[in-house]
Structure 1
Amino acid sequence: MAVPKGRAKDPDYGVELLWRDRAGGQRAGLNLDRIVAAAVELADQEGLAGLSMRKVADRLGFTTMSLYRHVPGRDQLVDLMRDAAWGELPDEGELPGGPLPAGWRDALETCARQGWALHQRHPWLAEGRGTRHVPGPNGVANYERMLAVVAATGLPAVQVVAAVELVGRLIEAEALALVETVRTERDSGVSEEQWWSARDSLFARLDRFPTITALHEAGGFERPDPFEFGLGRVLDGIALLIQSCDESRDEKAVCQVCGNPIDQPPSGRPRSYCSRACQQRAYRQRQPS
C-alpha cells in the first residue's frame, strides 16, 4: 500500500493506517505488518531513542525509501507499533479461567496488571506519550473494556472516565521509571543495584538525619513493589468513591413539611417538597400572622 502523495503528515491518514481493513491479509515480501514487527523488536532493544526508519530497513534487508511506500514516517510508525503491542493483550475468552473476574475491583485489577506486564515487555510504550497520538483498534478495545468494568459500578460518567485514566497514569508513571532504569543500565553497563550499593560515601553521611535513620533501621526502605502498592491505593480510592456514590443514592430527600420521600427530577434544581400542596403550606407558615 503506497502512501498517497501529500498525506504523509495528515493525522486522518494515520487513522486510516491504524484502522485499515485486515481481512484480506497482506502481500508477501515487504509489508506494513513486517515493518511494524521489526520496529517493535528494535524498540524493545534500544528504546524509541534508537528507533529510525533506516535501522528498521536494515533489519529487514530493504532500503529506507522502500519503507516510505508503506508508512509515511517515524511518528506514524510509532503509533502503529503502540497498537500492535496493545494487540498482545488477550481477549476475555483467552484469559486464564475465561472472562474477566466478577466484581469491578478484581476485574479492573486484572486489566491493570495486564497493562503493566505489557509495559514491562515493551517499556518504550511510555516514552513520548504526548496528547496527540492517534489510537488504534487494539488500544481502544482495551480502553473500552476498562471503561465497561467501572461503568458497571454506577459511578457518574465523568468519574468512570477519570477512574480509568487514573489507573492508566499509574501504569505509565511506573513504566517511565522502568524506561529510565533500563536506559541508564544499558548506557552505563552497571545495574541499578550495583550503582547504589557502591554509594558508601553518601550513606555514611545520612546518620545525621534521625527520621531517615530510624526508618532504615526499622526496615522502612525495604519497600513493597511500587506498582502493586500504588495499584492497591488507587483501587482503595475508587472503592471509597463508589461507596460514597451508593450512600448518596440511598439517602433519599424527604419533604420539609410532611416528611414524605421526594422523587427528585433527573435534572434541574432539586425539590424541597413532595407536592405543590406542601410547598404552599410552607409558604403560608412563613408569612407573618
Structure 2
Amino acid sequence: MVRDEAADPDRVVELLWRRRGAGAEPRTGLSLDRIVRAAVELADAEGLAGLSMRKVADRLGFTTMSLYRHVPGRDQLVDLMSDAVMGEPAEDGRPGEGGWRERLEACARRSWELRRRHPWLAEVRGSRHVPGPNGVAHYERMLGALDGTGLAPAEVVAVVGLVSRFVDAEASLLVEAAETERSSGVSEAEWWGARGTLFDRLGDYPTITRLWEAGAYDRPVDPFGFGLARLLDGVELLIQQRYETRDEIAGCPECGAPVERPASGRPRAYCSAACRQRAYRRRRSSPE
C-alpha cells in the first residue's frame, strides 16, 4: 500500500496542502510536521545524499515504519521539506517594494537566501516535483512582479523560469563546494592555496597575469549579485522594446492578445472590456 501511495502524485498534493498541525498520533506525538522538521535538519547537515527515511526515524526515536504511516516515501518527504522551508520568514522580514525590477530582484534574493540556508534545495531537480502552498505563493509573487510590464503572458512565465534557473545554477555551486569540503575535510581556500605548482606555470599567460597583478582575483565581484543584475538588465531591455513598439504591435497586458490600434483617438490598452475589468479587480484586491 505504501508503494502505491508513493507512486500517486495526488497523495503528495493532499499532504502538501493539508492543514498544518493535523495528523499527530496522540499516544506517541509523532506527526508529519515533526518528521519534516527532522528531515530538514538532517539534510542541512548532510545534504540530500545523507537523507533517508531510516535516518529521520532514528533522529526522532521511532521506527522507519512509523514514518510511513505519515508520508509514503523519501521523494514525497523531499517535496514536503522544500515547501516547509519556502515558508520561512525572509531575513529582512519585508516583501519587495517598488517597480517590477525591485520586486523581482527581491524574490530572487529571497530564493538565494533560502538556498544558502538550506543548500540541499538546489539538489531538488526535475520537472515533476509537486509544489505546495508556500512554493506556489513564491511563484505567484514572481509572476506578479512582471504584471503590467507589457510582456506577453508566455514571456512573463519564461522570465520567471529564467531567473529561477539562474538562482538554482548559482546555488548548485554552493552544494558542490559543501559536498567536496565534507568528503575531503579541506576547504576551498585551503585547497587552492596549496596549488603553488600550478600558479608557477601561469606566468606565460599575459592576460591572466595582468588581471592577477591588477588584483582581479583578490577582490572578486559577488557572482550572484553580478549575474542577477545582468540578467535583469536583459529583461529590462526586453520590456523597453515592448514599450517602444506597443503602438505598432501592442499586446494586451492581461492576456497577451493583439490590441488593434485605432485610426484616431487614445490607444487602447486592453483587447476587451473583460480584460480591462479583470486587471482593475486584481489591482483593487492586491494587498497594499
After TM superposition, the score normalised by the length of structure 1 is 0.81
The structure 2 residue matched to 1:234, chosen from 231, 236, 239, is: 231
In structure 1, the partner of 2:6 is: 8
- CA shift, 1:99, in A, is 4.5
- Give the stretch that moved more between structures: 31-40 or 3-12: 3-12
Q: Does 1:199 align with 2:203?
A: no
In structure 2, the partner of 1:169 is: 165
Q: For residues 224 and 125 of structure 1, what CA distance do their matches in structure 2 show?
A: 24
The structure 2 residue matched to 1:104, chosen from 90, 100, 104, is: 100
1:134-145 alignment to 2 at 5 Å? 134-145=130-141
Q: Does 1:116 align with 2:112?
A: yes
Q: Does 1:243 align with 2:240?
A: yes
- Give the stretch that moved more between structures: 116-125 or 145-154: 145-154
In structure 2, the partner of 1:212 is: 208
Q: For residues 193 and 108 of structure 1, what CA distance do their matches in structure 2 show?
A: 33
In structure 2, the partner of 1:282 is: none
The structure 2 residue matched to 1:225, chosen from 214, 222, 227, is: 222
- CA shift, 1:274, in A, is 5.6
Q: For residues 119 and 8 of structure 2, what CA distance do their matches in structure 1 show?
A: 27
Q: Report percent identity of matched pairs.
A: 64
Q: For residues 77 and 24 of structure 1, what CA distance do their matches in structure 2 show?
A: 16
Larger of the two Rg values belongs to structure: 1
- CA shift, 1:164, in A, is 1.0
- CA shift, 1:27, in A, is 4.6
Q: For residues 27 and 34 of structure 1, what CA distance do their matches in structure 2 show?
A: 11
After TM superposition, the score normalised by the length of structure 2 is 0.82
1:1-289 alignment to 2 at 5 Å? 6-22=4-20, 26-28=24-26, 29-90=29-90, 96=93, 99-221=95-217, 222-251=219-248, 267=258
- RMSD, aligned α-carbons: 2.4
- CA shift, 1:17, in A, is 1.2
- CA shift, 1:204, in A, is 0.5
Q: For residues 153 and 21 of structure 2, what CA distance do their matches in structure 1 show?
A: 34
Q: For residues 162 and 111 of structure 1, what CA distance do their matches in structure 2 show?
A: 15
| 1:75 aligned counterpart, secondary structure | helix
Structure 1 pair 51/24, CA: closer, same or farther in 2 (3 Å)? closer
Q: Which runs of 5+ in 2 are unaligned?
A: 251-256, 265-288
The residue type paired with residue 202 of structure 1 is L
- Give the stretch that moved more between structures: 198-207 or 149-158: 149-158
Q: For residues 141 and 68 of structure 1, what CA distance do their matches in structure 2 show?
A: 28
